[in-house]
C-alpha cells in the first residue's frame, strides 16, 4: 500500500516553456500533498504544501507564480513550472499523506527536469 | 538554523554487522520522527517511524530509538546487508497549530554496506 506515482519521470524542455508534473496517490486518498526539490548531494527542500480543494501554502522564497500547484482531487496534485529557466533544472519529488492517520509522507519516484 | 541534524555524512559497515545512524534535533515541539531510505534518482522510501510517547520502535531488522531528553534518535539496522546501501534521511514533524504537519529533514547519511 501507500504507492505514489509521478509523471513524467524525466523531461527536457527549452527555456521559456512550461512543464507540468503530475503526482498521484494510487491506493489511498491523500488529504495533503507536498512538493519538494532536491539539488545534487543536498537534502530535500520543501517547496509547498497543498490540501485538496484549497490553495497551496508556499515556503519562503518559493515563487508561487512560477511554481503553480493544483490539487484538484484527493489523488492528484500537479506542479507546473512556468517559463522555465536553466536554473529550474532539478529533481522534483512529491509526497502524499493521510494526515488523519499520521504525518507519514509517502514519496513518488521523482521527476528529473532539465531546462536547456 | 538546522532543526534536524545528521552529523555523519557517511558511514561504512561490514555486511552482517550493525549499522547505527544518528540524528539530533533542536525543536522541542517535534513529536513524530521518521527515517527514510533513498537511492539516487529515486524518491525516498519510508522505513520506520516513532511517536514521542515511545522510546523504541522495531520493525524487522530496523529499530528506532528515541531519547527525548537528549533530543536524539538513532536507527539500528541488524544485520546490515549490501542492499541497505543508500542515503538515510531522518525527519521530524510537530503536531502543533500552524505547523501544517510539515516534515523537517536532515541532510542525510550515506550508508555503505560492504560484502
DSSP H or E segment with residue A58? strand A57-58
For CA atoms B62, B66, B70, B72, give the dihedral sign: positive
Cell of B72: 536524539
Strand partners, B31: none
Site of grid cell 490540501: A51
Is B80's Cβ below 8 Å from some Cβ in A? no
Is A49's Cβ below 8 Å from some Cβ in B? yes
Number of C-alpha atoms within 13 angstroms, CB side, residue A93? Answer: 23
Backbone angles phi, psi at A83, to 5 degrees: 45, 60
Q: Which residues of A touch B44 (CB under 8 A)?
A: 44, 93, 107
Cell of B67: 531519547
Distances (CA, A) of A109 to A22, A73, B22, B41: 11, 20, 25, 8
| pLDDT cut 90: percent of chain A above it | 67
Cβ-Cβ pairs closer than 8 A, A with B, add up to: 54
Nearest chain B CA: its distance from A25 CA (Å)? 14
Which of B42, B95, B107 is opposite residue A43, by nearest beta carbon?
B107
Q: Which residues of B touch A57 (CB under 8 A)?
A: 100
Is A79's Cβ below 8 Å from some Cβ in B? no
Is B59's Cβ below 8 Å from some Cβ in A? no
CB B45 within 8 A of CB A107: yes
pLDDT band at B96 (very low <50, low <70, confident <90, very high): low
- Least confident span in A8-12, A52-56, A97-101, B13-17: A97-101
Q: What is the pLDDT of residues B66-78, one digit of tens each?
A: 999 999 999 999 9
Is B43's Cβ below 8 Å from some Cβ in A? yes
How many contiguous H segments (helices) and E segments (strands) does chain A have?
0, 11
Q: What is the pLDDT of residues B17-68, one digit of tens each?
A: 999 999 999 999 999 999 999 998 889 999 999 999 999 999 999 999 999 9
Interchain contact, A43 vs B100, CB within 8 Å: no
Is B25's Cβ below 8 Å from some Cβ in A? no
Q: Which residues of A touch B103 (CB under 8 A)?
A: 34, 46, 103, 105
Amino acid at each position: 500500500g501507500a504507492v505514489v506515482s509521478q509523471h513524467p519521470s524525466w523531461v527536457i524542455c527549452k527555456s521559456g516553456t512550461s512543464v507540468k508534473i503530475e503526482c498521484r496517490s494510487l491506493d489511498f486518498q491523500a488529504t495533503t500533498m507536498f512538493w519538494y526539490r532536491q539539488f545534487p548531494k543536498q537534502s530535500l527542500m520543501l517547496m509547498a504544501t497543498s490540501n485538496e480543494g484549497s490553495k497551496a501554502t508556499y515556503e519562503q522564497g518559493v515563487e508561487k507564480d512560477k511554481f503553480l500547484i493544483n490539487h484538484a482531487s484527493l489523488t492528484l496534485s500537479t506542479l507546473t513550472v512556468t517559463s522555465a529557466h536553466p536554473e529550474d533544472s532539478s529533481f522534483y519529488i512529491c509526497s502524499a499523506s493521510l494526515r488523519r492517520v499520521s504525518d507519514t509522507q509517502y514519496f513518488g519516484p521523482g521527476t528529473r527536469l532539465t531546462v536547456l | 538554523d538546522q532543526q534536524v541534524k545528521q552529523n555523519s555524512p557517511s558511514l561504512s559497515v561490514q555486511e552482517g554487522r550493525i549499522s547505527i545512524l544518528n540524528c539530533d534535533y533542536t525543536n522541542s515541539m517535534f513529536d513524530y520522527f521518521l527515517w527514510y531510505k533513498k537511492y539516487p534518482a529515486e524518491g525516498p522510501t519510508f522505513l520506520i517511524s516513532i511517536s514521542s510517547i515511545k522510546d523504541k520502535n522495531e520493525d524487522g531488522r530496523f529499530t528506532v530509538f528515541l531519547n527525548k531528553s537528549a533530543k536524539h534518535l538513532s536507527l539500528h539496522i541488524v544485520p546490515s546487508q549490501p542492499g541497505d546501501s543508500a542515503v538515510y534521511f531522518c525527519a521530524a514533524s510537530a503536531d502543533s497549530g500552524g505547523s501544517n504537519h510539515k516534515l523537517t529533514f536532515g541532510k542525510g547519511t550515506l550508508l555503505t554496506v560492504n560484502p
